Chains A and B, each alone.
Chain A
Amino acid sequence: MTRSRSLRRWSGYLYALPYLTLFGLFVVLPLLYGLRLSLFRWEMLSQLPPRFAGLGNYAEAVRDPYFWRSLVATFQFVALAVPLTVCLALLLAVGLKSLHGRRQAFYRAAYFTPTILTISVAGILWRWFYNSEFGLFNAYLGRFGIKVPWLTDTHWAMLSIVLMTLWWTVGGPMVVLLAGLQNIPPQYHEAAVLDGATGWKSFRYITLPLLRPVLLFVVVINVIGAFQVFGQTFMITRGGPEMSTRSLVQYIYETAFNNYRMGYAAALSWLLFLVIAVFSLAQFRLMKER
């Protein structure tokens, strides 16, 4: 009795073992190595071995204006991109649900397609779309006498990046939300209609509450992803103009692989990790309590 129970308990781990091995080897171990590294001064160019520096790298980050600038840019991106992505994904999912059969499959695929593109392809494409003199957007807008400085103005650049991100990434959350919507048993809505609920009310009081677990998942995943924004800004603006779109991950990349300051880059990565962890926990709290 006890033996089979303990066997059952361990068999779970046994099944997870292949994944856990890879996860431990390629995620947990490097993570811990990075944590150790963040306590060292390691300027790879100097040919000197790493030197223990305690929290020196973290102290440097606090005093580093570039760190704060890139953190602000990252927060701007998260604050703009996440709500827009989730709302648009939800809107599209609701729209798709009202379609059936082939038409649904067609539109679902159409909206999902951009997600398949790699960022290098999407980036080169959008850099051309956004080109203020010869780009696609300004060519159309020019007919109305409008010329938008998509990437060349510090105020516009981040908005342009967000717009591109919306196009590129909305497909993923849309598919997840659609699956969530389809899992809501139709009886609830039928009962609501009998009770006289209108479309908006049944969405607000039935669909949304039942969708909450899926929504939580989508929001959390999107926040984590948005904090790690790199490809879009790196491909389209290189962080410019005037570093207004240089995200924290880009700064970490440049610190590690252009300037070879490995310890400092590791410390910056751990600071990003902390920010993401705090936000993810807060979201779980917020959405679970109600």
Chain B
Amino acid sequence: MSEGARMHTLHKTSLILLLMASALLTTSFTGCGSGGRRVVTVRFWNGFTGPDGRTMLRLVKRFNQENPDVDVLMQRMDWATYYNKLFVAGLGGRAPEVFVLQTLAIPRFAKSGFVRGVDDLCAQPDGIDVHDIDANIWQGVAVAGKHYGAPLDIWPMGMYYNRRLFREAGIVDARGEPKPPTDRAEFLEALRKLTRPASGGKPDQWGFVFTNFESNVYSFMLQFGGEFFTPDDTRCIMNGPRNVAALQFCVDLIRKYKVAPPPENYDAWIGFRQGKIGMVFEGIYMLADLQKQQDLDFGGAPVPDVGGRRAVWAGSHNLCLRSDLQGPELRASWRFIKFLSDNSLDWAAGGQIPVRKSLRETPRFKGMAVQSAFAREIPYVVYLPRLPFIFEYQTEFNNAVEKALRGSATPQEALDTATANINKIMARERNAGSGGER
């Protein structure tokens, strides 16, 4: 939901206009297919309310032009409330034919039975070659051996760094080009060089800042080799020593090394845009925001490995089908999904990374500097834990991290509390699942 948090500037009026427009379109199109042929309407829901929505709309328009017998109606809504609306629509049997699910939401929606598996469709002659998708990404949409969507893109967390500040601080290679750190020693050294106190004694330039607690801290924990659940998924073990050490490292960046500002008095992302921050770890989706800014000389690189193991947080958008689709509707919907997958390089140009390996091999993708830098992380990306109660898990995790970074609890205390709460949720889920005596 990191994306959601950032994009929840929902414009109510534009949503209403969109609804009205789509209502008009439905009435005018469904009745009279051109040339007497029946036009299949495919409703397509997603949460692309930012600039990515305009990119997607262009793709939808192109598909509609090339496929006169199908009419795709796209509806965008804010990620923050998108899943609620989708879930309620599903309960009422009015879910759209095609919809986007982030990988974190797959177990939850698969469990509720709204989503159709895609294994049979991929295997068809007009399918998608699943070997063209990285194994860990394809595994992300699997629940109990079945795959519940066609992955469209991946957004690994990467490092954005300010090239001007790097040069000023002398963090350069032999040719004088800025040299992003790759391990812990280099990372800490760069942070020290980049952090500069102003004349008044208060730093006006910071090496690093936590822009997204969840993705940043989760990645550090993974790098430290932290575990979150027992292998049989029966118990949360998030308060293990490695996770505590990782969270302590994050706190140390603020309190001990003093190279990152405390979270209560800095608006993180805008600070980077203003050129006051050396490095931030953010998703590829922030790229469009930076590219708009002419006066910022920034670069993209893989996140340095600070814990001894390469790993970064990532998410994916997946194209999913309503579970009860059949006949022409199913065929039209799948054709649309295949179209988007095949053309995901156009989608990538708007600040995404396609999951199809063949597309990433093209010169066009290799020309996208930041995208291809972040794409180097794909072999070791890790999604969030796969849980039906993912949103409750996120609340607990984020609460613990927030407390620790703000200094109102030690890393051990904060993670102990979160672990106890998550185990309570798991016990409740088990009772709800096994209590089938009705």
Residues of A at the B interface (CB closer than 8 Å) are 41, 43-49, 51, 118, 120-121, 124, 131-134, 147, 149, 152-154, 238, 240-243, 254, 257-260
- For the complex, give the distance between the alpha carbons of A131 and B408 in Å: 22
Instruction: Report chain B residues within 8 Å CB of A133.
Output: 266-267, 270-271
- Interface residue? B108 (CB, 8 A): yes
- For the complex, give the distance between the alpha carbons of A120 and B11 in Å: 8
**Is the Cβ of B432 less than 8 Å from the Cβ of A46?**
yes
**Is the Cβ of B389 less than 8 Å from the Cβ of A242?**
no
Find the A residue at minimum CB distance from B5: A238
Q: How far is the CB of B370 from chain A (nearest CB, A)?
A: 25
Instruction: Report chain B residues within 8 Å CB of A147.
Output: 265
**Is the Cβ of B10 less than 8 Å from the Cβ of A242?**
no
**Is the Cβ of B435 less than 8 Å from the Cβ of A48?**
yes
Partner of B406, one of A132, A241, A259: A241
Instruction: Report chain B residues within 8 Å CB of A120.
Output: 10, 12
Q: How many residues on B have C-beta within 8 angstroms of the other chain's C-beta atoms? A: 37
- For the complex, give the distance between the alpha carbons of A40 and B337 in Å: 40
Instruction: Report chain A residues within 8 Å CB of B265.
Output: 132, 147, 149, 152
- For the complex, give the distance between the alpha carbons of A257 and B84 in Å: 6
**Is the Cβ of A47 less than 8 Å from the Cβ of B111?**
yes
Instruction: Report chain A residues within 8 Å CB of B113.
Output: 47
1/0 per residue, CB under 8 A from A, across B278-317: the answer is 0000000000000000000000000000000000000000
- For the complex, give the distance between the alpha carbons of A46 and B436 in Å: 10
Instruction: Report chain A residues within 8 Å CB of B203.
Output: none
Instruction: Report chain A residues within 8 Å CB of B9.
Output: 124
- For the complex, give the distance between the alpha carbons of A238 and B395 in Å: 12
Instruction: Report chain A residues within 8 Å CB of B435.
Output: 41, 48, 51
**Is the Cβ of B433 less than 8 Å from the Cβ of A46?**
yes
Instruction: Report chain B residues within 8 Å CB of A134.
Output: 267, 270
Find the A residue at minimum CB distance from B264: A152
- For the complex, give the distance between the alpha carbons of A153 and B264 in Å: 6
Q: How far is the CB of B434 from chain A (nearest CB, A)?
A: 10
The B interface is mostly helix, strand or loop, or mixed, namely helix
- For the complex, give the distance between the alpha carbons of A132 and B270 in Å: 11
The A interface is mostly helix, strand or loop, or mixed, namely loop
Instruction: Report chain B residues within 8 Å CB of A41.
Output: 432, 435
- Given known pairs A259-B391, A259-B392, the reply for A47 and B408 (CB within 8 Å) is no
**Is the Cβ of A44 less than 8 Å from the Cβ of B91?**
yes
**Is the Cβ of A132 less than 8 Å from the Cβ of B267?**
yes
**Is the Cβ of B87 less than 8 Å from the Cβ of A260?**
yes
Find the B residue at minimum CB distance from A253: B84
Q: How far is the CB of B162 from chain A (nearest CB, A)?
A: 17
- For the complex, give the distance between the alpha carbons of A46 and B435 in Å: 10
- Interface residue? B388 (CB, 8 A): yes
Instruction: Report chain A residues within 8 Å CB of B88.
Output: 257
- For the complex, give the distance between the alpha carbons of A218 and B5 in Å: 36
- For the complex, give the distance between the alpha carbons of A133 and B265 in Å: 8
Instruction: Report chain A residues within 8 Å CB of B428.
Output: 43
Find the A residue at minimum CB distance from B80: A238
**Is the Cβ of A241 less than 8 Å from the Cβ of B10?**
no
Closest 8 A-B residue pairs measured CB to CB?
A: A43-B432, A152-B264, A133-B267, A257-B84, A46-B432, A258-B391, A259-B392, A120-B12
1/0 per residue, CB under 8 A from A, across B74-89: the answer is 0000000001100110
1/0 per residue, CB under 8 A from A, across B397-435: the answer is 001001100101000000000000000000011001101
Instruction: Report chain B residues within 8 Å CB of A132.
Output: 265-267
**Is the Cβ of A45 less than 8 Å from the Cβ of B111?**
yes
- Give 19 new A-B contacts, CB below 8 A, not counting A132-B265, A240-B402: A44-B112, A45-B112, A46-B432, A46-B433, A47-B111, A48-B433, A48-B435, A48-B436, A49-B438, A120-B12, A133-B267, A147-B265, A149-B265, A152-B263, A152-B264, A242-B399, A254-B391, A258-B84, A258-B392
Residue from the set B111, B264, B403, B435 with the largest chain A CB neighbour count within 10 Å:
B264
For chain B, residues 136 to 185, give those with C-beta under 8 angstroms from any C-beta of chain A. Answer: none
For chain B, residues 102 to 139, give those with C-beta under 8 angstroms from any C-beta of chain A. Answer: 108, 111-113
Instruction: Report chain B residues within 8 Å CB of A47.
Output: 111-113
Q: How far is the CB of A218 from chain B (nearest CB, A)?
A: 29
Residue from the set B12, B267, B271 with the largest chain A CB neighbour count within 10 Å:
B267
Q: How far is the CB of A224 from chain B (nearest CB, A)?
A: 25
Q: How far is the CB of A237 from chain B (nearest CB, A)?
A: 12
- For the complex, give the distance between the alpha carbons of A258 and B402 in Å: 20
- For the complex, give the distance between the alpha carbons of A118 and B436 in Å: 45
1/0 per residue, CB under 8 A from A, across B1-27: the answer is 000010001101000000000000000
**Is the Cβ of A48 less than 8 Å from the Cβ of B264?**
no
- Given known pairs A45-B108, A132-B267, A258-B84, the reply for A242 and B403 (CB within 8 Å) is yes
Residue from the set B9, B88, B91, B432 with the largest chain A CB neighbour count within 10 Å:
B432
Instruction: Report chain B residues within 8 Å CB of A45.
Output: 108, 111-112, 388-389
Q: How far is the CB of A125 from chain B (nearest CB, A)?
A: 11
**Is the Cβ of B12 less than 8 Å from the Cβ of A51?**
no
Instruction: Report chain A residues within 8 Å CB of B12.
Output: 118, 120-121
Instruction: Report chain B residues within 8 Å CB of A242.
Output: 399, 402-403, 406, 408
Instruction: Report chain A residues within 8 Å CB of B436.
Output: 48
Q: How far is the CB of B140 from chain A (nearest CB, A)?
A: 19
